[in-house]
Structure 1
């Protein structure tokens, strides 16, 4: 597997995950929506920072999801 195919696979996985989450968007809490948004932004940022590396993309999505979850937790309390 070369780098381009790994990048495409990682990007596709993040995109499909985001689209699947958006299909159930209406039933999600604010905290869940924030986690999905954070994961999408984190995945994109991780891909850019790691030049499309799969580990960077997945790691960015995971970290972004956690940050988004925590931001959403604080928003739900207000």
Structure 2
């Protein structure tokens, strides 16, 4: 069940990123923040066995890290 959840989360994250209509108008820092949030959400979900708080927390931390690395 955990694998199915992670696969679905990864697929939905990738489809969300590929469907961003404003991706071309984003700066590299904003793109890095979005990518970091996506990766952080997947890692947070994996680390917390799919709990919502772990997923959202991972996405928030990943977004901040991506933003700082995109400077």
Please point out which of 51, 54, 60 is paired with 1:53.
51
When the two structures are superposed, what TM-score results if normalisation uses the length of structure 1? 0.69
Alignment coverage as a number of residue pairs = 65
Q: What is the Cα-based RMSD across aligned positions, in Å?
A: 2.7
**Unmatched runs of 5 consecutive residues or more in structure 2:** none
SS of 1:52's equivalent in the other structure is coil
When the two structures are superposed, what TM-score results if normalisation uses the length of structure 2? 0.75
- For residues 14-63 of structure 1, give each alpha carbon's deviation from its aligned partner in whole angstroms, at most 9, with x where no partner exists: 74xx4487221000000000000000000000000000000000000000
Q: Which residue of 2 aligns with 1:22?
A: 20
**Unmatched runs of 5 consecutive residues or more in structure 1:** 1-6, 74-78
Q: Which runs of 4+ in 1 moved over 3 A?
A: 18-21
Q: Which residue of 1 aligns with 2:33?
A: 35
SS of 1:65's equivalent in the other structure is helix
